[in-house]
């Protein structure tokens, strides 16, 4: 017999926890999504695609009581995961697999798909964390695909009123039907909603570079002025001597 010793996750499934304590505030959602994206970004860098990411496959190390508690998550169940041949999101899979409510539309359409299927699933998870329900619901997979195709997601309900514009942008970027416009894991991990920096704010290293450039310019200007002064004085002396 083969025995596997695994980490004890006393908090159970993330989905079960949300059913108990209800939808979460934005800061707690950000805390969870930051950890989830960090884990998936690492997997994708290792060329591994989960392909069955869902609330039931995210376990909690602890048992949060309040909505503002720390959610120490673990991504589990790699039974359907697969290794890509290359790191590019263009590396395609062909087999139909996953859990319908979390499956990307390209899988439901029986098309080739890439690591971006995990991004869609993360969007479904984030949506659920905010409002306590899935963005698209149907027991029939064909009907589910029709709903995804025809119904544009609305974020004007009461649950989304307290979500920042950057938080909504982050969520919308994952639940994009067309994979060409769906955000990649690399784009998500540096999104202002996670990093806490607005796109309008220059990065610190850029500011440093600008200051160094300005300092160099100041030094050049001083050097030019000194050389010009020396040249003028030399010219004046030459005129006087003449």
pLDDT of 163-204, one tens digit each? 999 999 999 999 999 999 999 999 999 999 999 864 444 444
Pairing of strands 73-75, 48-49: unpaired
Sign of the C-alpha dihedral computed for residues 49, 54, 57 and 62 taken in this order: positive
Closest to 17 measured CA to CA, from 69, 72, 65: 65
CA–CA separation, 133 and 125 (whole Å):
9
Residue 33 structure tokens: 């999504």
CA–CA separation, 135 and 133 (whole Å):
7
In angstroms, what is the C-alpha Rg of the chain?
27
At residue 67, the pLDDT reads 92
Q: Model's pTM, two decimal places? A: 0.78
At residue 187, the pLDDT reads 94
At residue 210, the pLDDT reads 52
- Active-site residue, from 52, 140, 205, 218: 52
Distances (CA, A) of 195 to 172, 198, 234, 239: 17, 8, 57, 64
At residue 152, the pLDDT reads 79
Q: What is the mean pLDDT of residues 3-28?
A: 93
Q: What is the pLDDT of residues 200-233, one digit of tens each?
A: 444 445 455 455 545 555 555 555 455 556 555 6
89 vs 68, residue with greater confidence: 68
At residue 204, the pLDDT reads 46
52 in catalytic set? yes
Coil, strand, or helix at residue 73?
strand
Least confident range from 39-48, 50-59, 151-160: namely 151-160
Within the chain, strands assigned E span: 12-13, 48-49, 58-60, 73-75, 82-83
CA–CA separation, 171 and 103 (whole Å):
16
Closest to 94 measured CA to CA, from 74, 77, 76, 109: 109
Identify how many contiguous H helices and E strands the chain contains and give both numbers: 9, 5
Q: Give CA torsion, residues 43, 44, 47, 48, to 10 deg.
A: 50
């Amino acid at each position: 017999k083969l025995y596997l010793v695994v980490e004890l996750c006393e908090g159970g499934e993330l989905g079960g926890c949300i059913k108990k304590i209800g939808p979460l505030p934005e800061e707690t959602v950000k805390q969870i999504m930051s950890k989830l994206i960090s884990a998936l970004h690492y997997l994708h860098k290792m060329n591994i695609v989960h392909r069955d990411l869902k609330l039931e496959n995210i376990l909690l190390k602890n048992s949060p009581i309040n909505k503002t508690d720390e959610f120490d998550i673990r991504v589990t169940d790699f039974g359907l995961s697969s290794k890509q041949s290359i790191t590019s999101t263009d590396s395609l899979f062909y087999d139909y697999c996953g859990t319908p409510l979390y499956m990307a539309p390209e899988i439901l359409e029986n098309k080739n798909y890439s690591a971006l299927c995990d991004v869609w699933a993360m969007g479904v998870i984030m949506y659920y964390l905010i409002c306590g329900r899935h963005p698209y619901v149907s027991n029939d997979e064909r009907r589910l695909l029709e709903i995804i195709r025809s119904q544009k997601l609305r974020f004007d309900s009461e649950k989304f009123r307290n979500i920042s514009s950057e938080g909504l942008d982050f969520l919308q970027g994952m639940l994009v039907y067309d994979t060409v416009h769906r955000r990649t894991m690399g784009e998500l991990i540096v999104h202002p909603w996670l990093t806490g920096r607005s796109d309008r704010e220059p990065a610190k290293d850029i500011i440093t570079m600008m200051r160094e450039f300005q300092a160099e310019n100041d030094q050049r200007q001083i050097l030019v002025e000194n050389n010009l002064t020396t040249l003028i004085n030399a010219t004046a002396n030459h005129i006087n001597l003449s």
